[in-house]
Amino acid sequence: MMTIDDDYVNKKHNETEQLALVDLTKLMNGLNMGTLSAFLYLIFVTHLFAINGGDAATPSQPPQQMLATGGFQSDRLQQAYKVIQAFKKKVTYDPKNITKTWVGKNICRDYKGFVCDIVPDLNKTTVAGVNFNGNRFNGPSLTLTELILGLRDLAFFHANSNNFTGTIPKNISQIRYLMELDLSNNNFSGRFPYEILHAKKLVFLDFRFNTFLGVVPPQVFLLQLDLLFINNNNFRQRISKYLGFTPALFLTLANNKFVGEIPRSIGRAANTLQEVLFLNNKLSGCMPYELGLLKKSTVLDVGFNNLTGPIPHSFQCLRKMELLNLARNRFYNEIPEAVCSLPGLTNFTASYNYFTQVGPQCRKLIKSGVLNVNRNCILGLPNQRSQADCARFFANLPTCRRAKSMHYVPCSNGNSGNQLETSDLETTPAPAPAPLGRSYGALTPH
Ligand SMILES: *[C@@H]1O[C@H](CO)[C@@H](O)[C@H](O)[C@H]1NC(C)=O
Ligand SMILES: *[C@@H]1O[C@H](CO)[C@@H](O)[C@H](O)[C@H]1NC(C)=O
Ligand SMILES: *[C@@H]1O[C@H](CO)[C@@H](O)[C@H](O)[C@H]1NC(C)=O
Ligand SMILES: *[C@@H]1O[C@H](CO)[C@@H](O)[C@H](O)[C@H]1NC(C)=O
Ligand SMILES: *[C@@H]1O[C@H](CO)[C@@H](O)[C@H](O)[C@H]1NC(C)=O
Ligand SMILES: *[C@@H]1O[C@H](CO)[C@@H](O)[C@H](O)[C@H]1NC(C)=O
Ligand SMILES: *[C@@H]1O[C@H](CO)[C@@H](O)[C@H](O)[C@H]1NC(C)=O
């Protein structure tokens, strides 16, 4: 098992809560407002309050209404009370004493971990969000079912670093506003929870750091997600050919056991994908030139795999690229000068491959510490592989199935090699820019 350098993964570390801000940023910029109801907007404002430690406003109800609902602000909260109290009994380990606050009838004011808002179709105060991040809850059968299905108005359920187990309930689709589900760093195992495919409103799906096995259903890539984190599980399969159909801005497949080639469909994500981590799997073959279509991407990490071939010339079209990691594969040939000339590159790691040449522009980057070419086969540079090592590799040079495509430059004028029509790709609106390196935060469990 390969371990990833702590500094590397911690460098851009963000709390899971902050990752949720991806959506917020978008909302605040008004990009999605057309499709989201005012309710969701409110929820996310409340959510922003909650994750910033502020007090979410608790709408007050007239007293006569309180009598009709047993002293609760609404019948929704009356129902939520029962659900929460039943769940409380199941939590036998609560090192932060969160459940001790779950007493009395004022859920919205007193209960840690629950966020209230008004549900618009009913005009009633309800539990709109759950934030159990870092609570470390445990219990003999800490399942989600009763809680998630009982709180029917949830827009988000965040439970990073607890010991939830079991399955995801099938009728999760009946949670009609559920937009964010974070079950990262819990005790889920077995097959991928197909049930989640029914939650059509999801925009944020985070299953990283569990022990899910087997295959990721291709339909996941058809969900209208902004963020998909499935790193650090035990997925073992060829990556679905539907990968590129995902509208996600942030995609982490790192630290699993994915095999085979990176699907060519990745090019379909050209207008949306900002960061993608394939880091530390068992991917093989050559990189598809379609990776070069990712003109919005700032982070591309294919490090620690078994990929080979040259760097596709299309990579010179990655105009927004900042962090490019190709380390620890079996890439060869020259590092294209046009790639070293990309305007935003701040970290280009090409170490532990079999590259043989770097031109003046690349040498500049080596000098300034942006490009790392240690442990390659470049004559005259320090810290290279031994001649014998290089000779052994080149005596049995792996070739690419679509060798010609390695020369396509889809961003240059008059090129016929680009098989994806720009008109096909220009259908979705441009997402708001997100800060760099967010997805690396997903590589630590908390
Ligand atoms: C939780 O409560 C127990 C017993 O009342 C106390 O010993 C412990 O320090 C509390 N822990 C926290 C984190 O407040
Ligand atoms: C929602 O209910 C409150 C009282 O609880 C009322 O003042 C308000 O007008 C209602 N809003 C709508 C849109 O029905
Ligand atoms: C989900 O399904 C179970 C049984 O299949 C049912 O008891 C429950 O009421 C359903 N929950 C919701 C929210 O529809
Ligand atoms: C879950 O429980 C196991 C065993 O008690 C423990 O080692 C692990 O740290 C727990 N996970 C979390 C996130 O608290
Ligand atoms: C984790 O889940 C397994 C079943 O999948 C269970 O046997 C184990 O006790 C759970 N561990 C914790 C700490 O809850
Ligand atoms: C990498 O691929 C080569 C050629 O396909 C194969 O011989 C080698 O065993 C692979 N290495 C690993 C670690 O999978
Ligand atoms: C550049 O990225 C690599 C991995 O992609 C990391 O190991 C290295 O520390 C980074 N270098 C700098 C200067 O940030």
327-382 pLDDT, tens per residue?
999 999 999 999 999 999 999 999 999 999 999 999 999 999 999 999 999 999 99
Structure-block tokens of residue 203: 């925009």
Cα–Cα distances in Å, from 311 out to 145, 286, 308, 329? 47, 9, 9, 12
Higher pLDDT pick, 199 / 240? 240
* Interstrand relation of 330-335 and 354-358 (parallel, antiparallel or unpaired): parallel
Q: Is 64 in the pocket of ligand 2 (CB under 6 A)?
A: no
> Identical fold at 8-243 and 275-411?
yes
Q: Which residues, judged by CB distance below 6 Å to any ligand atom, belong to the binding site of ligand 4? A: 136, 138, 161-163, 185, 187
**Best residue for ligand 5 mutational test, from 135, 185, 187, 233 (most atoms within 8 Å of Cβ):** 187
Q: Which two tokens stand for residue 248?
A: 């996600």
- Please compute the mean of the pLDDT values over residues 175-188 and round it to a whole number: 93
> If you measure from the C-alpha of residue 281 to the centroid of ligand 7, how many angstroms do you get, rounded to a whole number?
18
Closest CA to 281 of 307, 308, 258, 252: 258
Distance of alpha carbon 255 from alpha carbon 241, whole angstroms = 19
pLDDT band at 25 (very low <50, low <70, confident <90, very high): very low
Residue nearest to atom 10 of ligand 3 (CA): 171
Q: Kindly state if the Cβ of 152 falls inside 6 Å of ligand 3.
A: yes
pLDDT of residue 71: 86
Does domain 275-411 correspond to CATH entry 3.10.20.90? Answer: no
Residue 175 has pLDDT above 70, yes or no: yes
CB of 149 closer than 6 A to ligand 3? yes
Among 349, 353, 374, which is best to mutate for testing ligand 7, by the most ligand atoms less than 8 A from CB? 349
Does residue 434 contact residue 274 with C-beta atoms inside 8 Å?
Answer: yes
pTM recorded for the entire structure: 0.82
The answer to whether 260 and 235 are in contact (CB under 8 A) is no
What is the distance in A from the centroid of ligand 6 to the CA of 326?
16
Nearest by Cα to 446 from 232, 279, 280? 232
Per residue in 114-129, pLDDT (tens digit) is: 999 999 888 999 999 9
CA–centroid distance, residue 306 to ligand 6 (Å):
6
Domain 8-243 matching CATH 3.80.10.10: the answer reads yes
**pLDDT score at 287:** 98
Burial class (CB in 10 A: 0-12, 13-18, 19+), 229: buried
Protein residue closest via CA to atom 13 of ligand 5: 163
**d(Cα 315, Cα 191) in Å, to the nearest integer?**
36
Q: Are 278 and 262 in contact (CB under 8 A)?
A: yes
CB 442 within 8 A of CB 10: no
Q: Pairing between strand 323-325 and 347-349?
A: parallel
- Cβ of 210 less than 6 Å from ligand 7: no
Burial of 367 (0-12, 13-18, 19+ CB in 10 A): exposed
Position in ligand 7 atom list of the atom nearest CA 5: 7
Ligand with an atom nearest the CA of residue 135 = 4
- pLDDT for 65: 64
Say what the pLDDT of residue 318 is.
Answer: 98
Which three-class secondary structure state does DSSP give residue 232? coil
Cα 114 to averaged position of ligand 1 atoms, centre (Å): 20
The pLDDT score that the predictor gives to residue 63 is 59
* Pocket flag, ligand 7, residue 256 (CB < 6 Å): no
Domain boundaries defined on the chain? 8-243, 275-411
* Cα–Cα nearest to 46, from 223, 174, 177, 200: 177
